[in-house]
Structure 1
Amino acid sequence: MRSKALSFLKYTFLILCSFVSIFPFYWMIAGATNTSNKIAEGKLSLGSNLLKNLSDLLEGYNIPLIMWNSLKVSLVTAVLSLIVTSMAAFGFEKFTTRKSEIIYSILLLFMMIPFATLVIPLFKMMAGLDLINQHLAIILPSVSNIFLVFFFRQSFKSFPDDIIDSGRVEGAGNYKIFFKLVFPMMKSAYAAAAIYSFMNAWNSYLLPLIILQTEDKYTMTLLISGLSSASYVANYGVQMVAITIATMPTLVLFLIMQKSFVAGMTGSLKA
């Protein structure tokens, strides 16, 4: 009897948590199909204004170009950050020295610095490189993600040193060992890091806000932010459509790679 009561409480709690997690997503979908007035009134059922909201959004903004900007920035950032941070983490873990441990500790301390304090120095640096209003100015600061260095190093701790030694016996150099042996066996960790890096770049707002100055360079986060101040009366229906469109790429990516994401976060190693 006691076990049944505990099971009931457990599943009730899980159902409530699921509802809390799913409800904002449903509200976003329902809002995209309703008028601004209906959303303001708190209507939660699906409406029939989706096509009108979508048409208004497409007429006012070049959505395909803005989506392409976001995808380009996110994909390039994800690929470069995976290469740079994983190689750095592999070096820190497998070629450990006293100096490297000091440098690694300093890098971890940098994680405590709020990103907002770096905005002005980054802006001045990119201005000096003549990269203002260029997507490269957003990509470069995001490549050296300290959290990913930490994440990959923790993953590499479980990588057998015997495999690396075997590669060296066969005459392989460090780069060949990394790309031919390490990378294929750490796919789960790379999948988890790829999702994190992509979502982090896709949702980036503060740096694009100060770097990108023309609409043809905008990302989806800047578009959504601009919709709330585009007129005296906010069009919530159009905003919900834009948010729905912006959510789809990250949602699809996670659904495709969710098994690898879970395996990578739990530190599994697959050959």
Structure 2
Amino acid sequence: MKSKSLTFLKYTFLIICSFISIFPFYWMIAGATNTSNQIAEGKLSLGTHFLKNLSALLGAYNIPLIMWNSLKISLVTVVLSLLVTSMAAFGFEKFNTRRSELIYSILLLFMMIPFATLVIPLFKMMAGLNLVNQHLALILPYISNIFLIFFFRQSFKSFPDDIMDSGKIEGAGNYTIFFKLVFPMMKSTYAAAAIYAFMNSWNSYLLPLIILQTEDKYTMTLLISGLSSASYVANYGVQMMAIVIATLPTLILFLMMQKSFVAGMTGSLKA
């Protein structure tokens, strides 16, 4: 009887937590189907203004272009950051020296610096490189992600050195070992890192705000921010529609890679 009561309390707690987690997402979808007045009144049920809100958003902004801008920036950032950070982490872990450990410790200290304090120096750097209002200025700062270096290094700690030694015996170089032995066995780790890198780039707001100056270069985060100040009276239905559209790529990516994400977070190897 006691075990049944405990099980009931556990499931009740999990249901409540699930509801709290899912409710904002449901409210966002419901808001995209209602008018601004209905949302302001607190209506939580699905409405009939989905197509009207969508047509109003598409009529006012070039959504396909803005979505392509965000996807292009995020995908290029993911590919380059995974390549650079994983190779750096592999070098720190498997070819470590006293100097490399010192450099790694300094990099970890840099994680404590708030990104907001780096915005002005980054803007001056990009202005000096004539990259203001260019998407490349949003890609370069995110390539060398210190957290990903730390994440990859922790995963590489479980990578067997015997496999590397076997590759060296067969005459394989370090790059061959990395791309043909390490990478295939660490796919789950790369999947988890890819989701993190994608979300980090996709949700970036502060840097695009100061770098991008014309609407044809805008990302979805800037569009959503601009919708709240586009007029004296906010159109919550259109805002919710834009948020739903901006959420879809991240949601689809996570649903496609959720198993690999969970495995990667636990540091598992896959032969």
Structure 2 partner of 1:26: 26
How far apart are residue 2 of structure 1 and its match? 1.1
What CA deviation, in whole Å up to 9, does each residue of 1:98-149 have, x standing for no partner? 0000000000000000000000000000000000000000000000000000
Give CA-to-partner distance per residue, 1:191-238, whole Å, 9 cap, x none: 000000001100000000000000000000000000000000000000
Whether 1:45 and 2:45 are equivalent positions in the alignment is yes
What SS is found at the alignment partner of 1:196?
helix
Give unmatched runs, 5+ long, in structure 2: none
Matched, 1:142 2:142: yes
Alignment partner, residue 16 of structure 1: 16
After superposing on structure 2, the runs of 4+ consecutive aligned residues of structure 1 that deviate more than 2 Å are none
Matches within 5 A, 1:250-269: 250-269=250-269
Cα RMSD, aligned residues only? 0.4
2:220 alignment partner in structure 1: 220
- Correspondence list, 1:62-211, <5 A: 62-211=62-211
TM (normalized to structure 2)?
Answer: 1.00
Residues of 1 paired with 2:136 and 2:5: CA distance? 57
Report % sequence identity: 87
Q: How many residues align?
A: 271
Give structure 1 stretches of 5+ with no counterpart.
none
The structural deviation recorded for 1:5 is: 1.0
Report SS of the residue matched to 1:229: coil
Structure 2: which amino acid aligns with 1:251?
L
Q: What is the TM-score with the length of structure 1 in the denominator?
A: 1.00
Distance 1:185 1:139 in 2: 27
For residues 51-82 of structure 1, the C-alpha deviation after alignment (integer angstroms, 9 at most, x for no partner) is: 11001100100000000000000000000000
| Paired letter, 2:40 | A
